[in-house]
Structure 1
Amino acid sequence: MTGDLLAAPGPVVTVAVGALRSAGSPRTAGPDLDHVRALAGTSEELPPIVVHRTTMRVIDGLHRLQAARLRRQPEIAVRFFDGDADDAFVFAVRANVVHGLPLSTADRKAAGCRIVASHPQWSDRLIASVTGLSPRTIAELRRGSAAPKVPERGRVGRDGRVRPVNSLEQRRLASDMLRENPQLSLRQVAAAVGISPETVRTVRARLLGGEDPVLPRRRGARRAPAAAGPVDTTVRSHVPDLSRTVQRLRADPSLRFTETGRALLRLLEVHMLSNEKWTALVHEVPPHTRHVIAKLAAECADGWRLLAEQLAQEEPDAHDRR
């Protein structure tokens, strides 16, 4: 149930009021009596209610059912919903979020917890679209729930597509597609795996350069926060030499006395950390932010790599002009 969550369940039929049940509503406090009286007093014809066929439980229109009972109506117009009980609850929540008397924030959060448990494969954005909560709130509810873990294959988005849970797996999928069919466009690969065309461009560039398409920093972010063992110091063993190089650049008037030059020097100095300091940062990052910070770090690395490639390409021309 990931398409139109409010699609008409079926044709309108007439059902005896006494045959319907009102239990299981997402409204934990029950119906609003003032709203029921207002509906009972209107002379306009009310829309059909929606009923779960298997259980005869009202999933949309609880106030209209109560108004019919107050009027002592023997029958009421109904549309039947034929999904299972979990999907019926999803329909009830979504219907009560987008029209009628809105659900309270507490009711929407309670519904979010229940949907996270019943549909763990759904993405935070999809559940947020159902409950009227933010994806961030759904993520917090997911972390605090006892719901089963999401299958490794990923989560179902609002468009019905299954996407990997993390960008590391998305990059791997993109690299596999590009290896199998190099003629695919950036947009085709991006749409297939759920990442941006620019990220696919980076993956392709790394493949062409003989590099691992999954950035080393991002791979490391998947390890446990307190992972023990020796730290690979080969990558940044030359930090002291780099620091001295930056210090020499600070004496260059063309950098020191221009706004762009000073900004570049400040950025270079910020990244001149020792292996010990980088490792300390990894261990101090809170677990719930590791994925986001890993993604940001990887994007920053992409930016530096792009700068290096462009400078290297322009270097011969610069020498020719001298």
Structure 2
Amino acid sequence: MRSREFLGAGVVPEEEEINQQPVVEVELSSLRLSESPRLAGERPEHVQALAAAQNRLPPITVHRPTMRVIDGFHRLRVARLQGEQKIAVRFFDGDEAEAFVLAVKLNVTHGLPLALADRKRAAERIIASHPQWSDRKVASVTGISPGTVGGIRRKTVLEPGPQDRRIGQDGRFRPLDGSAGRILAGELLAENPDLSLRQVARAAGISPETARDVRNRMRNGEDLLPRQRRQQREAGAAGTMGRRKEYGALGLAQPSPRPPSAFAADRAALVKRLKADPALRFTETGRNLLRLLTLHALRKEEWEAIINSVPPHCSDIVVDLARQFADLWADFAIRVKEDVAQIG
């Protein structure tokens, strides 16, 4: 099996994919038994039940890089009990974090089910190794409810990471708080009623269904944010005020709720003024800065054309890069302001 970027794509192999791998005979002595999702280890009564079975037991699953058994601890015990020297194996080639996720998934979906304590402990470990996975995605692997996963996350993650999005069951990134996306979608629809839901969704970083809900709420004169989302947003107002004070202390303008294209004319005029400055025009770093600024000084129509031309299969990557670049520019603005203050 080809190794895949599970952490980035959020992919979990299905049992059918494992079953398509070739079966090979492997020496029992070469296999390792460790890191089982079962806190209490194997159950002797289950080993005895398998040993008494008349049918040939299915192959076990082994992590090829470490030769650690992923699925089939009890079957391996049966083989040793019966004096076998080899056992049928299907290999998995991912990394160790992926191997653990696969072990949990296989032990939840067939054979001797994992106890609730085992599944909760597994969820805790998967949250640590895959922090960007959504509660629902972790729940789909561990066989517990998304609410239980959320409770485990709140107890085990002392400080939230830098991610503002998580990967859902469909492998797509979703924001933890879609409030900003809903508000931006409302503004886009108010200015451009003819935009398609897919265009609005791509521009606002939300799903088409969320864009549809925003449009319906606008038509019905309702608040763009559902009541629960609105309460969460109000609860975080104090943190938002703190960030606004920080912007003010640095002398930076407050982030505007309007889309950037509304200020295209102003941006173009400012960039034109900077291009006339010899301090920028006649240095390599200055010209690099002017080129970067010029790229962002596009007209509203040009931004729309770019947004509409992003292929659907590239949208997640483009959104992720845009957000990363936005963070870089925000840090750039703060550092430039700090340097000016120190010189002054």
Interval of TM-score (by shorter of Structure 1 and Structure 2): 0.5 to 0.7
Q: Percent identity?
A: 50
Q: Is 1:221 matched with 2:244?
A: no
Query: What are the within-5 Å matches in structure 2 for residues 1-322 of structure 1?
Result: 1=6, 2-7=10-15, 8-9=17-18, 10-146=21-157, 149-172=160-183, 174-175=185-186, 183-186=194-197, 189=200, 193-194=206-207, 195-202=209-216, 219-224=233-238
3-state secondary structure, aligned to 1:14:
strand
The alpha carbon displacement at 1:22 in A equals: 1.0
CA distance in 2, matches of 1:135, 1:186: 28
CA distance in 1, matches of 2:169, 2:154: 20
3-state secondary structure, aligned to 1:58:
strand
Instruction: Give the direction of change, closer, same or farther, for the CA distance of 1:117–1:77 in structure 2 (3 Å limit).
Output: same
**Which residue identity does 1:80 align to in structure 2?**
F
CA distance in 1, matches of 2:184, 2:106: 36
Instruction: Give the direction of change, closer, same or farther, for the CA distance of 1:75–1:177 in structure 2 (3 Å limit).
Output: farther
Which protein has the larger Cα radius of gyration, Structure 1 or Structure 2? Answer: 1
CA distance in 2, matches of 1:49, 1:148: 38
CA distance in 2, matches of 1:74, 1:173: 64
Task: State whether residues 214 and 224 of structure 2, in contact with CA within 8 Å, keep that contact through their aligned partners in structure 1.
Answer: no
CA distance in 2, matches of 1:124, 1:173: 25
CA distance in 2, matches of 1:92, 1:176: 46
The one-character-per-residue Cα deviations of 1:133-170 (angstroms, maximum 9, x if unpaired) are 00000000000003663443400000000000012133
Instruction: Give the direction of change, closer, same or farther, for the CA distance of 1:182–1:161 in structure 2 (3 Å limit).
Output: farther
CA distance in 2, matches of 1:166, 1:100: 38
The one-character-per-residue Cα deviations of 1:104-126 (angstroms, maximum 9, x if unpaired) are 01111111111111111000000
Q: TM-score, normalised by structure 2?
A: 0.57
**Which residue identity does 1:41 align to in structure 2?**
A
CA distance in 1, matches of 2:147, 2:45: 34
CA distance in 1, matches of 2:127, 2:188: 31
Gaps of 5+ in 2: 1-5, 243-344
Q: TM-score, normalised by structure 1?
A: 0.61
**Which residue identity does 1:199 align to in structure 2?**
D
The alpha carbon displacement at 1:13 in A equals: 1.2
The alpha carbon displacement at 1:203 in A equals: 6.9
Instruction: Give the direction of change, closer, same or farther, for the CA distance of 1:4–1:177 in structure 2 (3 Å limit).
Output: farther
CA distance in 2, matches of 1:190, 1:56: 45
CA distance in 2, matches of 1:126, 1:47: 28
**Which residue identity does 1:200 align to in structure 2?**
V
The alpha carbon displacement at 1:184 in A equals: 4.2
Task: State whether residues 175 and 203 of structure 1, in contact with CA within 8 Å, keep that contact through their aligned partners in structure 2.
Answer: no
The alpha carbon displacement at 1:223 in A equals: 2.5
CA distance in 2, matches of 1:180, 1:17: 68
Instruction: Give the direction of change, closer, same or farther, for the CA distance of 1:146–1:153 in structure 2 (3 Å limit).
Output: closer
Task: State whether residues 33 and 68 of structure 2, in contact with CA within 8 Å, keep that contact through their aligned partners in structure 1.
Answer: yes
Tell me what 1:312 maps to. none
Task: State whether residues 61 and 69 of structure 2, in contact with CA within 8 Å, keep that contact through their aligned partners in structure 1.
Answer: yes
CA distance in 1, matches of 2:67, 2:188: 48
Gaps of 5+ in 1: 229-322
Q: How many residues were matched structurally?
A: 224
Task: State whether residues 16 and 74 of structure 1, in contact with CA within 8 Å, keep that contact through their aligned partners in structure 2.
Answer: yes
Task: State whether residues 155 and 164 of structure 1, in contact with CA within 8 Å, keep that contact through their aligned partners in structure 2.
Answer: yes
Task: State whether residues 132 and 163 of structure 2, in contact with CA within 8 Å, keep that contact through their aligned partners in structure 1.
Answer: no
